[in-house]
Structure 1
Amino acid sequence: MSLAPYVRILARGQGRARPFTLDEAREAMTLMLREDADPEALGAILMLLRLRGETAEDIAGFTSAARASLPEWQGMRPALDWPSYAAGRTRGLPWFLLSAKLVAGGGVPVLLHGWNSHQQGRASVRDALAPLGIPNAATMAEAGALLQSHGIAYLPLEVLSPRLMHLLRLRDKFGLRSCVNTVLRMLNPGAAPAAVQGVFHPSYRELQADAGRLLGDARLSVLKGGGGEFEHHPAKDIAVYGLRDGESWTGFTGRSIAEHRRLAEDELEPQALSALWAGELDDAFARATVLGTAGLALEAAGVTKEGALMAEDLWARRRAITSV
């Protein structure tokens, strides 16, 4: 089937063009994920949506088709989905990886998934995984097994879905972000009952929360975080949008420290991640970032309403419950 009818919906002209319905978006993405999808029509759809702006129906429909295209999950399912697709150009070290590790140590299996090899700087997310003892899954089946043995795993996008990887990499041709970036944050490949998502632009918080509600997701927290990742700046009280029991929800992060430091000004080397975990580095700001992010993730997962207190307790016991 041709993508042309879906291009016409978006591009008929002033007064005639309209947004996709959720079903139309699902049908369009199903075709876009096929190897024989017409590249010109595919590019037209992505750039028309870029120009017009994404709707919750667009993202929910696209995500529904993307989820349906994935192989069946095998092994242990995650309790918390944690996507990581930010470019990382405006941030320092990925402290949120320590937060995810802390949450996993608290008995909440965490699936990290993403594509971060393009990051420029001192430490990409993938570079930091091995030193932190976070295993990198070579297959989807291995991801489930790693959750069973380690409580945490990272699943690269090119392993998860080569076709979605292809759609994402069209950014190199367009020179512009597309809605695929948003869809990947919503993907939740392990069908975890809860998810956390980071965004760079504040408007996407409500968009992704609304799309999650249309998809029937139960628990979700969307945060304007460090460089677009789910990572809380501890000196800022930031609004969080999402879902609780499938209903729209809004909260605030609160502040835990007075010191203000821009993430891009972080002068620490990548080894600081392991050093902070081992207690060899005393950095109050970095520790507050890790604990604040972990607390928000624990609350999103439904483990406790007092996520900050649980994160403090896990941090104090971290070397007993998990190792680097």
Structure 2
Amino acid sequence: MNLVTPPEHPFAQFVRILGKGKRGARNLTREEAREAMGMLLDDKVEDTQLGAFLMLLRHKEESAEEMAGFTDAIRARLQVPAIDVDIDWPTYAGKKRHLPWYLLAAKALAASGVRILMHGGGPHTAGRLYTEQVLEQLDIPLCRHWQEVGSALQQGNLAFIPLGDWMPPLQRMIDLRNTLGLRSPIHSLARILNPLSARCGLQSIFHPGYQAVHREASRLLGDTAIVIKGEGGEIEVNPDATNHLHGTANGINWDEEWPALSAQRHVKPETLDVAHLQAFWRGEAEDSYARLAVLSTMALALRGLGTPREAAFAEAQQRWDNRLQSN
């Protein structure tokens, strides 16, 4: 009887690299990460391999070189028109303690002429309020393709496009969260992608230690970026805490510490009422936490565009005061 050994699947090598025990396992090189993500995007991987790969990465914790290699593969497959963008603003976490005040910061910046692309992965965790759920109430354009993004930016300097509309395989991986029981590294990776090559990418990474990894990945990619531990995982400066900015520009890393803006911590609201968000935008309601969160988040974006901290806060206040006149 002639027994033939079946050939090994080409993707198996990458699972083996990550999962070969405490002494045998290692990080992927940037080139290996690029090849592995390319196979995932081109649907050349079995579902069992996909799940194993994502969870091994999650357990090991991804490296900057891996994140850069994954991004290389994604950008190589992107078909995007030339659209001028100032700020790339990924929004994938959702909020559960406070309202998404970062959306008002983005709206005010856009009203003053800053061109902002937002992108997100949809509601995937119960009990959180996601950007996609409040776009209509805040008059933020929901775009389904890059042409719509270009038109929205031309008309109002602000656009949101779901990840599933420009990189469906990544959205599928994010949607595995409830199947696998854990978030995969794709949730973090989406924050680095900067699909339209904006002048600055803002990133929020909640878990300690990951901020420096993300900053290094952006540096390897040649991007300008600021990474913070944003409130709830979103790009929103927490005014009740000290905020550390991990920045990179022109291949050089920099760090900046922003002190807390409030002497006492604010009490979180009992419910997340979007109507309060709208009222604050119109100037019909006052909220000390919201005011500080919005202004400091606007200053963060301006800092990313090169404005020094003190001037960024003063400029943020001026732009916020003029937000309704600009419309």
Structure 1 residues 44 and 118 mapped into 2: Cα distance closer, same or farther (>3 Å)? closer
Cα distance in 2, alignment partners of residues 183 and 78 from structure 1: 20
Q: Does 1:63 align with 2:79?
A: no
Aligned-residue sequence identity (percent) comes to 39
Q: Secondary structure at the match of 2:134?
A: helix
| CA displacement 1:130-189 (0-9 Å, x = unmatched) | 222211102122112211111000111111211111111122221011111111010111
Amino acid at match of 2:314: L
Q: What 5-or-longer segments of structure 2 have no aligned partner? A: 1-8
How many equivalent pairs are there?
318
Q: Secondary structure at the match of 1:23?
A: helix
User: Residue 107 of structure 1: CA displacement?
Assistant: 1.6
Cα distance in 1, alignment partners of residues 234 and 267 from structure 2: 14
TM-score (norm: length of structure 1): 0.93
| CA displacement 1:21-43 (0-9 Å, x = unmatched) | 11110111000112242111222
User: Residue 61 of structure 1: CA displacement?
Assistant: 0.7
Q: Does 1:240 align with 2:271?
A: no
User: Residue 122 of structure 1: CA displacement?
Assistant: 7.7
Is this contact kept in 1: 2:94–2:234, CA < 8 A? no
Task: Within 5 Å, give how 1:170-319 maps onto structure 2.
Answer: 170-217=176-223, 219-261=224-266, 263=268, 265=269, 267=271, 269-303=273-307, 305=309, 306-319=311-324
Cα distance in 2, alignment partners of residues 46 and 91 from structure 1: 28
| CA displacement 1:103-124 (0-9 Å, x = unmatched) | 2122210000002323544843
Is this contact kept in 1: 2:225–2:304, CA < 8 A? yes
Cα distance in 2, alignment partners of residues 127 and 41 from structure 1: 33
Which one of the candidate residues 2, 20, 26 is aligned to 2:28? 20
Q: What 5-or-longer segments of structure 1 have no aligned partner? A: none
Which has the larger Rg? 2
Task: Within 5 Å, give how 1:152-167 maps onto structure 2.
Answer: 152-167=158-173
Is this contact kept in 1: 2:94–2:129, CA < 8 A? no
Which one of the candidate residues 97, 115, 120 is aligned to 1:109? 115
Q: Which residue of 1 is the match for residue 18 of structure 2? A: 10
Q: Does 1:97 align with 2:103?
A: yes
| CA displacement 1:79-131 (0-9 Å, x = unmatched) | 1000001043x422110000111121222100000023235448432222122
Is this contact kept in 1: 2:93–2:130, CA < 8 A? no
Is this contact kept in 1: 2:261–2:292, CA < 8 A? yes
Q: Which residue of 2 is the match for residue 86 of structure 1? A: 93
Amino acid at match of 1:137: C
Comparing 28-37 and 266-275, the one that deviates more = 266-275
